[in-house]
Amino acid sequence: MLTLRKAILAIFTFVFAIAFLFVDWKEVEGDNQIEGVVLQLNITRNFPVDDERVDTNNTDEKVGQQQHYHQLNNINNTNEDDELFNEYELQRYMLQQRTSLINSFSILNLSPKSKPPAIFRLYSSTELQTPQSNEDYHNTFSNADGGDMILGSACMAIKAFRKNDGIKPHVLFVIDENWGAFSDIVPTRTDDELGGKVKWSVQWNESGCSLDDLWYYLNHTNASAIFTTQHQSAIEPHPKVFPFPLGVFRAKDALNNLMTNKQSAVRTTLLVINQSHWRHRIGIAEEVIAKFNGTISNTYMDGTDYWQHLQESKFILSPSGIGFDTYRTWDALTMGAIPVLETYYRNDGFYRIFDDLPVLWVDHYDNVTPALLEEEYPKIIAKARSYNFEKLTIGWWYELINCYRPSRKRAAGKE
């Protein structure tokens, strides 16, 4: 009997070993157990790999996968699996990251035109103060114990802060969709709805503020941080000045297209141009179209589907408007197209907002050619697993803000 049991055990072990060799074992990327609840945001970090929103049975997509399977250029990391170099797998991985993080609670939609912007509705009136008049600012900054978040004008806040000897610990927010606290004219790249902003230093002085006031403020320990939208061309990058994103323009449309439309991990269009005919944008579009020998065009308002273009394209041109940040850029990042952005030979603290996100920087849009995009695309895609797609959610910015709030620092024993 013992011999028979040993024989049966031996046969079972042999069969299991053979089966193990032929089973396609795959590790699910990420930790599906990470909790993503940020107060009422309820952000789900990851769904399983076979999330039903990604159609893995799409025959056309599988054909595309076979056609697009190739080794990416300029990658010499032999310690990684071959699938890291597969365009289809990398695009699919990024799609899964975006769809697992972005939902109706978390989609990055700051709505600067609303009062207050959407993200600030997460805070109570005792936390966030929104002074309007000079008297309001004086009362706010003369009370060290009030809310530690101020949403308003940089100049008025800084003047009131200094007048009250800097007694109030706080974080300041200056939110405008077109012009930030330190935005200045960048010739041929920024403009104003009424024909041109006055120079920042002139505007600052006319408002009763001085550079001395600004440096007093930035160097004071009770001024924890400034979060501001748009480019910061008036000052050098400063560790206390943080860029703040516009987010997507139409959150409902973006979310519906991200979640319900059949998205393929295969992108067949190299570059899409879909932008309004706003002043300097016209010349930029014409120059890039010429570099493509007229094989592309500006599809803005031509009846085609904007969201579909974003889903099918590898890159999208995203030039500045009145300010350097645009809704188009965040639409593209949400839908998986790579924004082509221009430094215009400038160093700007605003550019930090795109750290750890898949964007392509060029010094000038004259440099955008098919050859450049074909060369840069595999390099950008190869970094798929290093991008921080949580930056496309309100929750990430909510947590960043809280890191600098004096009240949170005190509660954590960091002050």
Task: Confirm if 49 and 100 have CB atoms less than 8 A apart.
Answer: no
Q: Which amino acid is at 331?
A: D
Task: Confirm if 340 and 320 have CB atoms less than 8 A apart.
Answer: no
Give the DSSP letter string of 5-49: HHHHHHHHHHHHHHHHHHS---PPSS-TT-----GGG-------T
| Helix residue ranges, H only, 69-131 | 87-101
Give Cβ neighbours of residue 394 (< 8 Å, ≥ 6 apart): 41, 105, 106, 107, 108, 109, 110, 118, 119, 122
Q: What is the pTM of this model?
A: 0.79
Tell me the C-alpha distance between 181 and 172, whole Å. Answer: 10
Tell me the C-alpha distance between 359 and 380, whole Å. Answer: 8
| Domains recognised in the chain with CATH numbers | 118-246+396-411 (no CATH), 253-391 (3.40.50.2000)
Tell me the C-alpha distance between 310 and 261, whole Å. Answer: 12
Tell me the C-alpha distance between 336 and 226, whole Å. Answer: 30
- Comparing CA positions, the residue from 50, 348, 31 lying closest to residue 183 is 348
Per-residue pLDDT of the chain (415 residues; tens, 9 = 90+): 445 444 544 444 444 344 433 333 333 333 332 233 333 333 333 323 333 333 434 444 444 444 443 434 444 343 444 444 589 899 999 999 999 999 999 999 876 566 677 788 899 989 999 999 999 999 999 999 989 999 999 999 999 999 999 999 999 999 999 899 999 989 889 875 544 556 788 888 888 999 999 999 999 999 999 999 999 999 999 999 999 999 998 899 999 999 876 666 789 999 999 987 777 889 999 999 999 998 998 888 655 789 999 999 999 999 999 899 999 999 999 999 999 999 999 999 999 999 999 999 999 999 999 999 999 999 999 999 999 999 999 999 999 999 999 998 766 666 5
Q: Which helix (H) or strand (E) holds 171?
A: strand 170-174
Tell me the C-alpha distance between 415 and 408, whole Å. Answer: 9
3-state DSSP percent of the chain in helix, strand and coil, to 5: 40, 10, 45
Tell me the C-alpha distance between 347 and 186, whole Å. Answer: 12
